[in-house]
Amino acid sequence: GATIGILGGGQLGRMLAMSAAQLGYRCHIFAPEADSVAAEVSADFTNAHWHDRDALNTFAAACDIVTYEFENVPVEPLSAIPQNMLAPGTRALEVAQDRVSEKKFVENIGGKPAPFAAIDHDSDLAPAIDRVGTPGILKTRRDGYDGKGQWAISRADEAQGIRIPASGSVYEQRVDFEAEFSVILVRGRSGEVRFWDSAVNTHTGGILSHSELPAPAIVGKQVKEARALAKKLAEELGYIGVLTCEFFATSDGPVFNEMAPRVHNSGHWTIEGAVTSQFENHIRAIAGLPLGDTASTATRIVMDNLIGAGALDMTRHLSDPAAHLHLYGKSEARDGRKMGHITRVG
């Protein structure tokens, strides 16, 4: 069988590697950390540097296809890998790594992000808040995840003294939403697109904590428009694999939040709750195999993240015999760290 290379060594890579193994593929993991939880279940290139072109080249030579489990892989060194091996292509990474280019891209194809202003220098912040209004959220343009690098601003004077990083920030209006949901799709090499059902997502302190199906009626009403946008995004990018778009359901229709050019935490329920999981369909898509059915296998499905210390009480989690427990094998349970998740179907 073929060998799949995964750039990034976290739990998403681990679950991708498990699906790849099920289909008879081997995986290599390219990851900067020494103790990658993905490499535990596959061969590894750990302790690696994203900018080490020779290492990337050696990694690619050991693989037939290369994909990502992390959207902030530096794009420039990826030119050391034959571009036809990469799925999805680097264009999707470039767009998704920068919140401003992501929002502009979405606007250009007819989508609606929250009103925003790009901020390059400290002195741009006050006029941006003036233009966009309060309340709002200041976000770093690059490298944010799990709500890191974000500041809520409820009054203009709160912005005094805030330092804008060299790579810039974006200030966006706080959206008054009724629910959050994501559209997760898979696009195959033939251009075929399939969608999973959209769960409603709940965040706690900027971190996804819970996804649940069925979603409230407002999500059901807005999912068609959100799907059309996500599909257009995938087509414009010539995207191969699983793509996630996060939306706010508002009284004014779906507002685009952000995209992730990869499998997504809000789709973990698909492992037990869909005919084919996001992980398996990503592997199928990049390998050029027929896509699997994305239909849900039950009407009620819930996924809870296990976050931080105290999340690893296996006896408690397994006291519910219907719970599907997933632990990521992380050695240290830091505050706010995703340690695992539990899915309940039916």
Residue 206 binding target from ligand ATP, Mg ion, none, CB below 5 to 8 Å by type: ligand ATP
Q: Which is nearer to ligand ATP, 144 or 292 (CB)?
A: 144
Q: Which is nearer to ligand ATP, 114 or 301 (CB)?
A: 114
Report the C-alpha gap between 278 and 276 in whole angstroms.
7
Position with the least CB separation from ligand ATP? 175
DSSP 137-185: EEEESSS--TTTTEEEESSGGGGTTPPPPTT-EEEEEPP--SEEEEEEE
Strand order of the sheet with strand 65-68?
Answer: 43-45, 26-30, 3-7, 65-68
Of 79, 145, 191, 293, which lies in the binding site for ligand ATP, with binding defined by CB under 6 A?
145
Residue numbering of the annotated binding site for ATP: 99, 139, 144-150, 172-175, 180, 203, 257-258
Q: Which is nearer to ligand ATP, 85 or 162 (CB)?
A: 162
Contacts to Mg ion by CB under 5 A: 246, 258
SS (H, E, C) 232-267: HHHHHCCCCEEEEEEEEEECCEEEEEEEECCCCHHH
Residue 197 binding target from Mg ion, ligand ATP, none, CB below 5 to 8 Å by type: none
- How far CA 282 is from CA of 2, 261, 303, 345, in Å, comes to 15, 11, 20, 22
Helix and strand totals (H; E) in the chain? 9, 17
User: Strands, E, within 41-120: which ranges?
Assistant: 43-45, 65-68, 116-119
Residue 253 binding target from Mg ion, ligand ATP, none, CB below 5 to 8 Å by type: none
Q: Which is nearer to ligand ATP, 38 or 175 (CB)?
A: 175
Q: Which is nearer to ligand ATP, 20 or 242 (CB)?
A: 242
DSSP designation for 72:
T
Residue 308 binding target from Mg ion, ligand ATP, none, CB below 5 to 8 Å by type: none
Of 11, 36, 169, 257, which lies in the binding site for ligand ATP, with binding defined by CB under 6 A?
257
CB of 263 to ligand ATP, least distance (A): 13
Q: Which is nearer to ligand ATP, 32 or 144 (CB)?
A: 144
Taking only Cα atoms into account, the Rg of the chain, rounded to an integer number of angstroms, comes to 20
Helix (H) or strand (E) holding 302: strand 301-307
Helix (H) or strand (E) holding 342: strand 338-345
Residue numbering of the annotated binding site: 99, 139, 144-150, 172-175, 180, 203, 257-258
Residue 98 binding target from ligand ATP, Mg ion, none, CB below 5 to 8 Å by type: none
Residue 147 binding target from ligand ATP, Mg ion, none, CB below 5 to 8 Å by type: ligand ATP
Identify which range of 29-37, 88-96, 140-148, 228-236 contacts ligand ATP by CB under 6 A.
140-148
Identify which range of 100-108, 138-146, 186-194, 331-339 contacts ligand ATP by CB under 6 A.
138-146
Of 69, 98, 102, 246, which lies in the binding site for ligand ATP, with binding defined by CB under 6 A?
246
Q: Which is nearer to ligand ATP, 20 or 153 (CB)?
A: 153
- How far CA 32 is from CA of 37, 46, 70, 73, 302, in Å, comes to 12, 6, 12, 10, 32
Amino acid identity, residue 320? D
Quote the crossing angle between the two packed helices 11-22 and 278-287, to the nearest 10°. Answer: 70
Q: Which is nearer to ligand ATP, 174 or 189 (CB)?
A: 174
Sign of CA dihedral 163, 169, 171, 177: negative
Contacts 24+ apart (CB under 8 A), 90-94: 91/237, 91/238, 92/237, 92/239, 92/243, 92/261, 93/68, 93/261
Binding of residue 115 to ligand ATP (CB under 6 A) = no
Window 165-204: residues binding ligand ATP (CB under 6 A) = 172, 174-175, 180, 203
Of 77, 89, 115, 147, which lies in the binding site for ligand ATP, with binding defined by CB under 6 A?
147
Binding stretches for ligand ATP (CB under 6 A) = 114, 137, 139, 144-148, 172, 174-175, 180, 203, 206, 246, 257-258
